[in-house]
Each structure stands twice: as C-alpha cells, then as structure tokens.
Structure 1
Amino acid sequence: MDYSTKISERMWNLPDKGELESKREQTFIDDIVQKAHIERELFSHLDGIQTVFDGGAGCGRFSILLARQGLQVTHFDISQAMIDKARELAEKAGVLDHITFVKGALEDLSAYTDRSFDLVMSFDAPISYTWPNQEQTIRELVRIAKKRIMFSVSSRLGALPYLANPLQKNQFILDKNSSDSWVQWCLNSRQQMIDGFTFREENLLKTLDTGLLCDVEETKEAYDRGETPWCITYHFMPDELKQILENCGVKDVALAGPGAFARTIPNEILVKIMNDPEQKKDFLDFCHHYDSNPYVCGMGKDNLFARGEIG
C-alpha cells in the first residue's frame, strides 16, 4: 500500500473527522463559498444524469444532495468514520435507498467497468491526496464516467499564499465564539503564529516548482512513528489539469477557482455579508461569476474546479 493511501486512511479515520467535516459550512466562510460554487455547477449540469459516482465523498455533502434529486449515487470513501456520518445524515434526509456506500481508496477503482456512471465527481481534493498517482487516479475516474466529470483538486497558485500568511484561515472564521477546536486554536494562536513567522522565498519557489507544500520524507517518517500527519498533497496548475483531462478524452473542459474573490475581502466584511441572507445570496452569485473567469481560476482559496464532457 502506498504512503498516500496509508496516510489518508489514518487521517480521515480520526474519531472526530466525520462530525467536524459535516459542520464546516457552519464554521468557515471559505467552505460556504466553495460548496455553493459546486452546488450551482451540479444543478446546472444534471441533464441526462441518473447515476453518480462520488469519489472521496466524505460525510455526504454532495452525494446526499444528488440523492435528494432522485439520482442513484455511489458514495465512495477511504474513511469508515466519514461513511458512518454520511449514512447517519442520509438516513435523516430519507435518501438511504438512493445511496450505495463503498469503502475504498481512489487509487483502486478496478471494481468498476468502463463508463459505469453518468456523472463522476470528486470534490475537496481527494485526487490530490493520491500523490504520486494523481494522474492515474484522474484517468481511472474518467474511465468510469459515461457523460460528465466534475472534480476539484488542490490549486498550486491558490495554495502558495499559505506559505506567506499563517493567519489565512482566520479571515474565514464565521463565528469567533464557535466551540470548534480549530476555530479557537486559530484565534488563540494568532500572535504566536505572527511572532514565529519568517518569509522564506525558497519554500515558495520549491512549491511552485514541485506542487508539494510538505517535505515528503518527513511526512512518511511521521506516519511511521505513529503520528497522523496531513496527507501528502499534490497541487495542480490550471493548464496542467486541463491538459491531463483533455489527454483522457474529456471535452469542453471548464475551470474555476472557488474563493478567488472572497479571499480579497477582510473577515469583518465577510461575516457581515454572511449574516444578511439577501447580501449572502448576491455575494455567492457574484463569487460564482467571478471565480469562473479563466484569468482567476488558479487563485481559488483551496481548490481548482474542473468540469468536462465525455466523448
């Protein structure tokens, strides 16, 4: 088993992962923006879709959404904790009869024949966690798609500001009184992160060149010591992702960078917008319009979104 699979399995199976992931849109504004963008794309491109494969489906944010539309969805994830949470939420939504839950790693889709699903989707970067097999993973996901694909992967240009801004997540905290442990850590560690920060050009240039933020060997060693490091994550350039998809036979590839507009706005204004339903709707509408512009697609907050047609 590759390190990418072993590390991902350990991290996403942490006991609280399913619960925390299911509440991200109640906690962070960047998650609201990204999920709203994807939801709009899905609802705009369901023509001819009856069967769906959701790879790295997590706690079911989109598999349950599509099951509610009467589609038959295969919810595929590496984490039993995520699947258990998704099943719980699917039961509450009354859509268990529209979802098949499968535990597995994206690196192995051999159980599925060519063109098995009308729509194949994979959101919030599970493809990027399969490094160094990310291109093969994309090929396999395209292989099992009959009509359409929708992916979001980690964005290289969008991720580089992380290395120059240790406070980047603070910008998107929706409620500073939240009991979420990550929110409170971000707030309580603010000055410590500022004091400990040093700008290192070589780190950014290395990531720009390789697409990797972490030291791969250090991450592997941490895993072998019994720790739970973040997954080794490959970050794509926009033209790179488009070329890979086109080489797989995907047509009419469209890219977007969810969060590109929102990341330009300070926290106080974002919170004000989110707390006013009318402003929030208008803001998310404009974000989708702005973030879909090809000139900003690489600067999405975390992910690079891609949509394309098969055949």
Structure 2
Amino acid sequence: MNYSQKISERQWNLPDKGELESRREATYIDDIIQKDHIQRRLLENLDGIRTVFDGGAGSGRFSILLAKQGCQVTHFDISQPMIDKARELAEKEGVLDRITFVKGALEDLSAYRDHEFDLVMSFDAPISYTWPNQNKVISELVRIARRKFIISVSSRLGSLPYYANPIQKNQFILDEKADDPFVQWIISNREQMISGFSFNKQVVDKLWADGLMGGEEEIAQYEQGGAPWCITYGFMPDELESILAENGVRNIRLSGPGAFGRTIPREILVKIMNDPKQKKDFLDFCYQYDSNPYVCGMGKDNLVAEGDIIIND
C-alpha cells in the first residue's frame, strides 16, 4: 500500500467524517453549487440505467439520489464512518434495499467484472487522492462500466487561484454561526491568514507543472501519527479527456462546477441562497455557464467529465 492510500484511509476514517460530509450543502455555498450541477448531470443521463457503481461514495449524496430513482447502487468507499452515515440516511429515505455498501479502496476493483454496471460514477475527487495510481484507477472504473461514465476529479487550473487566496473558503460560508468546527476555524483565522500571506510563484509554478498538491510534508505528518489531507493530483482538462479517450470513453463532455459562483462575493451569494426564487434561477444559470467547455478548467474544485461506453458485441 502506498502513502496516498494510507493517508486517505486515515483522513477519511476520522470518526466525524461521515457526519461532517453529510452536512456540507447546509454549510458551504460552493458545495451547493457543485452538487446541484452533478445532480442535474446524473438525472440527464439515466435513460436505460439500472445498475450503478458509486466509487468513493462518501455519505451517500448521489447513491441515495439514484436509489430513489429506482437504480440498484453499489456504494463503495474507503471510510467506515462515511458508509455508516450513508446507511443511516438511506434507511431514512427508504432505499436501504436498493444499495449495497462495500468498504474498499479505488486502487483495487478486481472484485468487479468487465462492464458490470450500467453507470459508473465517482465524485468529489477520490480519484485524485489515489496518486500516483490515478490513471490506472480511471482505467479500472471505465472497465467495469457498460453504458455511462461520469466522474469528477481535482482541477489543476481551478486549484491554482487558491495559492493567491488563503481565505478563498470564507467566500462560501453559508452561515457564519454554523457549529461546524472548520467554519469557526476559517472565521477566527481569517485575519491571520491574510497578514501571514505572501505570493510564492515557485509553489504556483510547481503545481502548474506537475499537478501535485502535497507530498513529503503529508507523509511526514502521517508517520508522526497525524491525519493530514490527502495527497492530491490535479488534472488538466485536455489531459483528462485524453485519458478517457484512450480507455474507450466516447462523446466526452467536460464541465467546471463553480466557475461562475467563484466570481461573486460572499455577501451576494448568501443573499441569493436565502431567497428561493433567486437561488433557483442562480443555480439554473450556474449549470448553463459551468457546462460551457471554455470555462471547464476553472470550476472551483472539480473538473467533471461524462461520456459513453460503447461495447462492440
């Protein structure tokens, strides 16, 4: 097992992960935008879909969505707390009988047959956390797909602005009084993050060149018993499209959820989100804007790709 898998297992198996991840759309505006985008993309692609593999399924946001649409879903995740939360939510939604929960790492999908699932999906960038095996993981996910393939990975272009904005997450806090500990940390450390910031072109150039966020520092923290954030690989749009095409995915379409939303200050975003009519109209336009291929690389966190699997019998 390499360090990326070790670090991912420890990070995502922290006891509170399932609960915190399940509340993200009630906490962060960028999560509302991103998950709304993915939900629309999924619901547009369900014709003929009966079986689904959700890789890195987390607390079940999309597993449960598709189970409610009548699909049989394999919910696959590295985190037991995430699976436990997903099971709880699935029971509450009355779809427990349509979901099979499996604990495992994306690096090993050998238990699944070629073309076993009508739809294979993986969201919120678990593929990017499998570095240096991300290309192999994509290949294996494609292998088990029969009709549709939809994933999101970390966006290299979308991540680069973070290196010039240490308070980027402040923009997307929906409720500053939320009891989420990370929200309170962001708020309390805002001024310190600004005063201690200096732009480091060498760091930005490195991410631009190799796409890698994290490495030796995270490995050292892990060895000292910590639970660092996962080593993450950021994809360029043309790179991801090429990998998918090489693995037989056809009619590839890329999008960048959050590209429009990241241009708007928090005060305006909060006002929009608190008005149901404005929120609906705004999310409609975000989906339209963020689906344009010219902005796909500037999605806030993720680069979304969808395509068809064509099997020649």
Which bracket does the TM-score occupy, shorter chain normalised?
Answer: over 0.9
1:218 Cα offset (Å): 1.8
Work out whether 1:271 is the aligned partner of 2:270: yes
Partner of residue 141, structure 1: 141
- Gapped runs of 5+ residues in structure 1? none
| Secondary structure at 2:213 match in 1 | coil
Aligned length: 310
Aligned residue identity for 1:262: G
| Secondary structure at 2:74 match in 1 | strand
1:220 Cα offset (Å): 1.1
Could you list the per-position Cα deviations for residues 23-67 of structure 1 after superposition, in whole angstroms to 9, with x for gaps in the alignment? 000000000000000000011110010000000000000000000
1:213 Cα offset (Å): 2.2
Q: Following superposition, which runs of at least 4 residues in structure 1 exceed 4 angstroms of deviation?
A: none
Partner of residue 227, structure 1: 226
Partner of residue 8, structure 2: 8
Partner of residue 81, structure 2: 81
1:178 Cα offset (Å): 1.0
| Secondary structure at 1:74 match in 2 | strand
Work out whether 1:281 is the aligned partner of 2:287: no
| Secondary structure at 2:75 match in 1 | strand
1:240 Cα offset (Å): 0.2
Partner of residue 304, structure 1: 303
| Secondary structure at 2:161 match in 1 | helix
Could you list the per-position Cα deviations for residues 269-308 of structure 1 after superposition, in whole angstroms to 9, with x for gaps in the alignment? 0000000001000000000000011110000000000000
Aligned residue identity for 2:126: P
Work out whether 1:241 is the aligned partner of 2:243: no
Mapping 1:213-224, distance limit 5 Å: 213-214=213-214, 216-224=215-223
Mapping 1:1-311, distance limit 5 Å: 1-214=1-214, 216-311=215-310
1:193 Cα offset (Å): 0.2
Higher mean C-alpha deviation, range 130-139 or range 3-12: 3-12
Q: Distance in 2 between matches of 1:4 and 1:292?
A: 31
1:150 Cα offset (Å): 0.3
RMSD of equivalent CA atoms: 0.5
Q: Distance in 1 between matches of 2:88 and 2:38?
A: 23
Aligned residue identity for 1:280: K
Q: Distance in 1 between matches of 2:177 and 2:78?
A: 32
Q: Distance in 2 between matches of 1:217 and 1:175?
A: 35
| Secondary structure at 2:233 match in 1 | coil
| TM-score, structure 1 normalization | 0.99
1:90 Cα offset (Å): 0.4
